[in-house]
């Protein structure tokens, strides 16, 4: 059987990963992004619910080891208009609590330590037959303040100004937007934009070009965390 090209597996589906373990978060981000998924990351159930209320995600990946998850319902059944399928990452001793909550076709689990091929397979099964999230489907077009993206036409604007982005610039902006207020390393950016790490200079030039277009005559949204990477958002909650 012919295998699918890597980028068709996720096909741009948006996934929100909820875990407080940095090593686990890094493993998932570096595994899912090259497989064609847009990945958002949060460390708490409270923040996850806020993200779900503001954006439509196609799938949740939930680490059941989160200390604020007193029950699966904390994230498994969020009170939002669109309730995405859920893939739980569970230890063996959590399965007795988890299994009664599973709904056929809507929730599934993998046990830790994770095997990435199994995670990808379970995700594809959960997403089978579901329509990808679209601007205007279950929420507004993706954006931040006066920055708005249109994934249907792959266009972006800031206020009334069209940004005229290249494909690489659009992918970078979409990745920064999906992870607003989270610092993304150069390696994470490179693997998401090009499917490979192309070196610091190429990424610095790409970020510089995007920043000139996005932050021209407007409040700065794209920031550098020196030695760590880049992030999108307003500093100190301004604006």
At 5, which helix (H) or strand (E)?
A: none
pLDDT for position 119: 92
Q: Is residue 160 included in any domain, yes or no? A: yes
Please state, in angstroms and rounded to a whole number, the distance separating the CA atoms of residues 10 and 47. 24
Tell me the per-residue pLDDT of 8-63, one tens digit each, with 9 for 90 and over.
466 778 898 998 888 898 899 889 988 888 888 888 777 777 777 667 788 999 88
118 and 226 belong to one structural domain: no
- pTM summary value: 0.55
Q: Is residue 105 included in any domain, yes or no? A: yes
**Most confident listed range (74-78, 87-91, 151-155, 195-199):** 87-91
147 and 118 belong to one structural domain: no
3: confidence class by pLDDT, cuts 50, 70, 90: very low
Please state, in angstroms and rounded to a whole number, the distance separating the CA atoms of residues 100 and 119. 21
Q: Which of 95, 127, 159 is the last residue of a domain?
A: 127
Res. 170: pLDDT tops 90: no
Please state, in angstroms and rounded to a whole number, the distance separating the CA atoms of residues 182 and 101. 31
Q: What is the DSSP letter of 13?
A: -
Please state, in angstroms and rounded to a whole number, the distance separating the CA atoms of residues 27 and 21. 10
Q: Which of 69, 97, 127 is the last residue of a domain?
A: 127
Q: Which of 69, 96, 127 is the last residue of a domain?
A: 127
173 and 76 belong to one structural domain: no
Tell me the per-residue pLDDT of 117-157, one tens digit each, with 9 for 90 and over.
999 998 988 887 565 554 333 344 677 888 888 877 778 88
Q: Is residue 133 included in any domain, yes or no? A: no
Q: Once rounded to an integer, what is the mean pLDDT over residues 99-105?
A: 54
Residue 77: domain span: 6-127
CATH number at residue 55: 3.40.50.2300
Q: Once rounded to an integer, what is the mean pLDDT over residues 216-234?
A: 89
Token readout for 8 is: 């068709």
Between 204 and 71, the more confident residue is 204
103 and 171 belong to one structural domain: no
**Most confident listed range (69-73, 102-106, 118-122, 198-202):** 118-122
Chain position carrying tokens 């790490």: 197
pLDDT for position 71: 45
Please state, in angstroms and rounded to a whole number, the distance separating the CA atoms of residues 113 and 152. 37
CATH number at residue 209: 1.10.10.10
Could you tell me the sign of the dihedral formed by the alpha carbons of 117, 118, 123, 128, in that order?
positive
Calculate the dihedral angle through the C-alpha atoms of 123, 194, 207, 188, rounding to the nearest 10 degrees.
50
Res. 235: pLDDT tops 80: no
- How many structural domains does the chain have? 2
Q: Once rounded to an integer, what is the mean pLDDT over residues 184-204?
A: 82
203 and 117 belong to one structural domain: no
At 150, which helix (H) or strand (E)?
A: strand 147-150
């Amino acid at each position: 059987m012919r295998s699918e090209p890597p980028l068709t597996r996720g096909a741009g589906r948006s996934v929100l990963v909820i875990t407080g373990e940095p090593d686990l978060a890094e493993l998932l981000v570096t595994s899912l992004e090259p497989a064609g998924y847009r990945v958002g990351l949060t460390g708490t159930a409270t923040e996850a619910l806020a993200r779900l209320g503001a954006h439509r995600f196609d799938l949740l990946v939930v680490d059941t080891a989160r200390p604020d998850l007193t029950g699966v319902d904390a994230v498994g059944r969020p009170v939002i208009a669109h309730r995405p399928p859920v893939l739980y990452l569970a230890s063996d001793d959590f399965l007795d609590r988890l299994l009664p909550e599973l709904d056929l076709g809507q929730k599934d689990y993998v046990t830790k330590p994770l095997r990435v091929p199994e995670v990808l397979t379970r995700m594809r099964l959960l997403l089978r037959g579901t329509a990808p999230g679209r601007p205007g489907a279950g929420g507004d077009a993706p954006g931040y303040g006066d920055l708005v993206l249109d994934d249907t036409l792959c266009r972006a604007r800031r206020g009334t100004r069209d940004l005229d982005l290249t494909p690489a610039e659009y992918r970078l902006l979409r990745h920064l937007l999906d992870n607003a207020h989270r610092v993304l390393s150069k390696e994470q950016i490179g693997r998401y934009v090009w499917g490979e790490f192309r070196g610091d200079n190429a990424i610095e030039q790409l970020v510089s070009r995007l920043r000139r277009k996005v932050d021209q005559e407007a409040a700065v949204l794209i920031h550098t965390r020196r030695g760590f990477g880049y992030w999108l958002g307003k500093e100190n909650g301004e604006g």
